[in-house]
Each structure stands twice: as structure tokens, then as C-alpha cells.
Amino acid sequence: MSDSKINSIPVLCGMPVEELAERLSPLPRFRAAQISKWIASGVSSFDEMDNLPLPLRTELAGRFTLRPNVTVQKHSSSDGTVKLALRFADGARIEAVLLSDNSGRRTACLSTQAGCPAGCVFCKTGAGFLRNLTAAEIVEQFLQLRTLADDSASSGMSPTTLPISNIVVMGMGEPLLNLAELRRALAVISSKEGLHFSRRRITVSTCGIARGITDLTDQGPAVRLALSLTTADENLRRRLMPITVREPLAAVKKALRHFQDSGGGRITLEAVLLGGINTRDEDAAGMARFARGLDAAVNLIPWNPVKGLEFEGKTLRQPSTAEIESFTQRLKTLGLNVTRRYRRGRGVMGACGQLSGN
């Protein structure tokens, strides 16, 4: 499936307005803009588009679908995190998460692939790969999460009652291995005629696909970037994140510098902390070396437990509190700006790396 088609019926919600105008030709462009606005408003049928002539609505309904065919299950956690499990018509299962923090920030976490081909040993998603998601399937996640956010806002039931303020592309899959579809989805999400969400509030997280970072820098969209560094020890990194065998850190760093030289702004270096594995003093020193010459903040994510995952025959374990503290302290002493990721969503297996689609 190379574009927003399922059973060859085009799905319009994943099409940027220019593409929509082309598809709808010879209709005038303003019709594409009207339809984009309707899609952004969340409608699920052409019947609701009351500024389109009735015969046109009927004709469009015969040629296109608006949203992907999906079944959705909702799992709520007591900390305010809500996970949606989405199942598409071909059986592919993915997850999308809405996180609320105490400062009133509401973050939508979106998936880009069903499974992931990168195979990181610490990540549940990496256990298998089914397929790339289409732009429509990525936009659909946002629309579903927005409905949730709006519902909880109007019922006043949630800990925070604000609309979605941030998007992180940190759910299932490696975004830069599905850049074409992600790019179309983000065009819909950020364009004025679409959902009009600020690009500066969108962060794409990558395991470090160098040519993907360069492509994103040169062709846009101008979103924020996070690199899942994990460790700057190249040998250890290759064993933990098998895909990085073909992505040397020097090439990744060069791509990140190009990103920043082109005005991409501060990046985040993420490190999932694996007890007894990547929290050594030399890992801290390596991270500081990697960060040199970059404008970067470090985000530490204590490993969220996933049953059955192991590294070279040893069961993975969470880092101890003392281990987290001393690693954080060491990085700070080395002059790095360090934050710690909150663990919300654990109760619904919605925390980082615990997403698997089943």
C-alpha cells in the first residue's frame, strides 16, 4: 500500500490539500479547501459537509472514503493516560496514546509503523514488523486522540481539560523509515487548510537513520527532532539496536549538525536506561562527547519493563534509583542539560517501548 488507499478506494484524510485538489480536478480548488476543513473538523461522512451541493456529496461518497476503516479500543489509566488500540481493515494493530502532565500539557503520541524493523532488544515494538502505516492511518490516530481530548474537556472529568498541545512521533515504529507517508500526514496536521497544528510543537523521534535526518532537514517539514542515542559506545549500541550497524554515529552526528545548521533548533538526545548496561561512567562520558558541538538536551527514560526481553542471554532489568541518580549527576557534572521522562501510562502498557499492538 503505497498511498492512502485501502482496497483501492482512496482515503482522503491523509491527503494534503494540494494533493486533494489534484484528485478532485476538475473541481475548483476551493472545494478541496472546503473538504480539508471538514476533515480537520472531524466529520466522518460526506453528508455532513453542508456547504457542498448534494449531488457532489453523493458523487464523492461513491468515489472516496474520508477516514480509514478502523476499530478502536480505549484503555484508561488512573494517571490520566489514555491508550487507544487501533485495528485496521487488514488486521494491522497499532497504538496511539494521549498523555496529560501536571503542567497542563497534553501530548499525542503517534505510531508510524505496525511493529518496527529496527529490532532494538529493549523495545517491545521491535519484536516484529508488519508494515508501514499510510498517511491516512497516521492522521486518523490524531483525530481519534483529539476526540478523546475534546470529550474529556467538555465533561471536565480528566485531570487536565485542555486540547492537545504537543505531538510526539514516538509510538510504534521508526518514523524515518516511513518518511514519505509521515510527511503527508504532517502536512495535513500542520497546514492552515488542514488541522493547523504548529510544527514547532511536533517532535519526531528516530533511532538515527542518517539519510532520513538529512532528507527531513532538506525537504521538511520543519519539526523538532529527538535522537534515541541510548549509548555513544558504538559497539554496545550496535548490539542493543541492530539497525545501527549501518548507521555509524559519526554519520548520524553529521546529519544532526546539518539539521542544526539549517535552523532545526535544539535537539533531544534520548537514552533509555537499562539496568547495569548503559549507565556506566564511560556511557556518561561518551554521551557528553557525542553532544559536543550540538545544541542538545538529554532526556533519560528509565527502562519500562517488558516481560521476556533479554540482551545476550541476560534478562533486562530496570535501573535502580541509585543508578539513575548517579548517572544523571554525572551527566550534569559533564555540563549536560538533563531531564527525566515521566513514567505515565505504565498502567495501560502505554509507556515508551511497551507498545506492541496486542
**Contacts with ligand SF4: how many residues (CB under 6 A)?**
13
The residue behind cell 532545526 is 264
Contact 355, 171 (CB under 8 A): yes
Give the x/- contact pattern for ligand SF4 in 158-187, rule: CB under 6 A. ---------------xx-------------
Contact 137, 183 (CB under 8 A): no
**CA angle at residue 114 from 146 to 175, to 5 degrees?**
75
* 352: annotated active-site residue: yes
In angstroms, rounded to a whole number, what is the distance separating the alpha carbons of residues 179 and 215?
A: 9
Q: Which residue is nearest to ligand SAH (CB)?
A: 353
Closer Cβ to ligand SAH, 108 or 301, answer by number:
301
- Decide: helix, strand or coil at residue 137: helix
User: Segment 193-212, which members bind ligand SF4 (CB under 6 A)?
Assistant: 207
Residue 120 interacts with ligand SF4 (CB under 6 A)? yes
- Active site residue: 19, 95, 181, 247, which one? 95
Q: Binds 177, which of ligand SF4, ligand SAH, none (CB < 5 to 8 A, cut-off by type)?
A: none
Chain residues binding ligand SAH by CB under 6 A are: 122-123, 170, 174, 205-207, 228, 230, 270, 272, 301, 303-304, 306, 352-354
User: Segment 215-244, which members bind ligand SF4 (CB under 6 A)?
Assistant: 228, 241
Residue 16 interacts with ligand SF4 (CB under 6 A)? no
Q: Which stretch binds ligand SF4 (CB under 6 A): 43-51, 99-107, 112-120, 181-189?
A: 112-120
Measuring CA to CA, which residue among 212, 204, 202 is closest to residue 167?
A: 202
**CA angle at residue 192 from 188 to 198, to 5 degrees?**
80
What kind and span of H or E run contains 100? strand 93-100
Mark 25-42 as b/e (b = at least 16 C-beta within 10 Å): eebeeebbbbbbbbbbee
In angstroms, rounded to a whole number, what is the distance separating the alpha carbons of residues 64 and 23?
A: 10
- Active site residue: 109, 123, 207, 352, which one? 352
Residue 116 interacts with ligand SF4 (CB under 6 A)? yes
Q: Binds 64, which of ligand SF4, ligand SAH, none (CB < 5 to 8 A, cut-off by type)?
A: none
Q: Binds 195, which of ligand SF4, ligand SAH, none (CB < 5 to 8 A, cut-off by type)?
A: none
Residue numbers annotated as active site: 95, 352
